[in-house]
Amino acid sequence: DQQVKQNSPSLSVQEGRISILNCDYTNSMFDYFLWYKKYPAEGPTFLISISSIKDKNEDGRFTVFLNKSAKHLSLHIVPSQPGDSAVYFCAAFSGSARQLTFGSGTQLTVLP
Amino acid sequence: ETGVTQTPRHLVMGMTNKKSLKCEQHLGHNAMYWYKQSAKKPLELMFVYSLEERVENNSVPSRFSPECPNSSHLFLHLHTLQPEDSALYLCASSQDPPSGGPNEQFFGPGTRLTVL
C-alpha cells in the first residue's frame, strides 16, 4: 500500500493563475516532506521542503502547506508560468529509516 | 561534469543479455541510490549505499546487482531481465546522515531501459 499518494495524475492551469498540487500520506512518523519537479529527459530536482513541526514554508512563488491532522500537504505556485509545466513529485522523509518515499507524481501543464 | 551523471541514457537489451548502468556524482556526497520509475507509478527505491556499504535493498530481484566501488561511483549490473523491468532507472546522491534537515537527494537524468 502506498504511503504517499498523489491522487491527481494531471492538472491544467492558465498562466498567471494559482496551481495547487495535493499530496496525502499515511505514516504519521514522517519528519519532512519535499516536493521535486521533473522535466522530460531530466532527473527530478528538489523544489521545496517542510518540517513536520511546521504548517507552512514559502520560497518565492512556491508555498507548501502541511495539515498534520489530515495527513495532507499541498504545493501552491502563484503566479503559474509556462516554464512550471513539469511532473511534480511529493516525497516524505523518515529520519529513522533515512530514506524518501515518493508519490506517483502530478503532471502540471500551465497554458499560455 | 557537475552534479550526477548517468550512462547510457538509453539502453535496449534482450532478456539474455548482460549490461551495466553507470552513475557518477561530483557533489562530494557519501550516499548513493538506485530508483526505478515505471509509468504512472511512484519512484521505487531499489538500493542505498552509505559510505560505500549497502544499507537497503528493498527485496529487489537478484537479476539486479549493484556495485559501489567508491563514494563517487555506482553501478547497476543487469542480467536476464524481464520485459516488465523496462523502466527509467534513476541514480541519486545525498549527504548522509543529513545535517539536521531532510535527506535532499540530487538525481541524475536517468537511463531509459527497454527489455525485449
Q: Is A22 inside a domain boundary?
A: yes
Let me know: does A88 contact A21? Beta carbons within 8 Å.
Answer: yes
Number of domains in chain A: 1
Alpha carbon of A45: minimum distance to chain B alpha carbons (Å): 7
Among candidates A3, A77, A66, A70, which has minimal Cα distance to A33?
A: A66
In percent, the amount of chain B with pLDDT more than 70 equals: 95
The tens digit of pLDDT for each residue in A1-50 reads: 789 999 999 999 999 999 999 999 998 889 899 999 999 888 999 999 99
User: Which residues on chain B are in Cβ contact (under 8 Å) with A40?
Assistant: none
Question: Domain of A91: which CATH number?
Answer: 2.60.40.10
Let me know: does B33 contact B47? Beta carbons within 8 Å.
Answer: yes
Q: Is A63 inside a domain boundary?
A: yes
**DSSP-assigned letters across all residues of chain B:** --SEEEE-SEEEE-TT-EEEEEEEE-S--SEEEEEEE-TTS--EEEEEEETTEEEE-TT--TTEEEEEEETTEEEEEEES--GGG-EEEEEEEE-SS-SSS----EE---EEEEE-
Among candidates B9, B35, B10, which has minimal Cα distance to B107?
A: B35
What distance in Å separates the CA atoms of residue B77 and residue B64, rounded to the nearest whole number?
6
Q: Is A99 inside a domain boundary?
A: yes
What distance in Å separates the CA atoms of residue B72 and residue B69, rounded to the nearest whole number?
8
Q: Is A52 inside a domain boundary?
A: yes
Q: Is B40 on the interface with A (CB under 8 A)?
A: yes
The tens digit of pLDDT for each residue in A55-105 reads: 999 999 999 999 999 999 999 999 999 999 999 999 998 877 778 899 999
Q: Which residue has the cell 518515499?
A: A101
Q: Is A112 inside a domain boundary?
A: no
3-state secondary structure of A95: coil
Residue B40 pLDDT greater than 90, yes or no: no
Of B4, B43, B92, the CB nearest to A89: B43
Q: Is A91 inside a domain boundary?
A: yes
- C-alpha grid cell, residue A27: 505514516
The tens digit of pLDDT for each residue in B80-90 reads: 999 999 999 99
Domain limits for position A55:
4-107
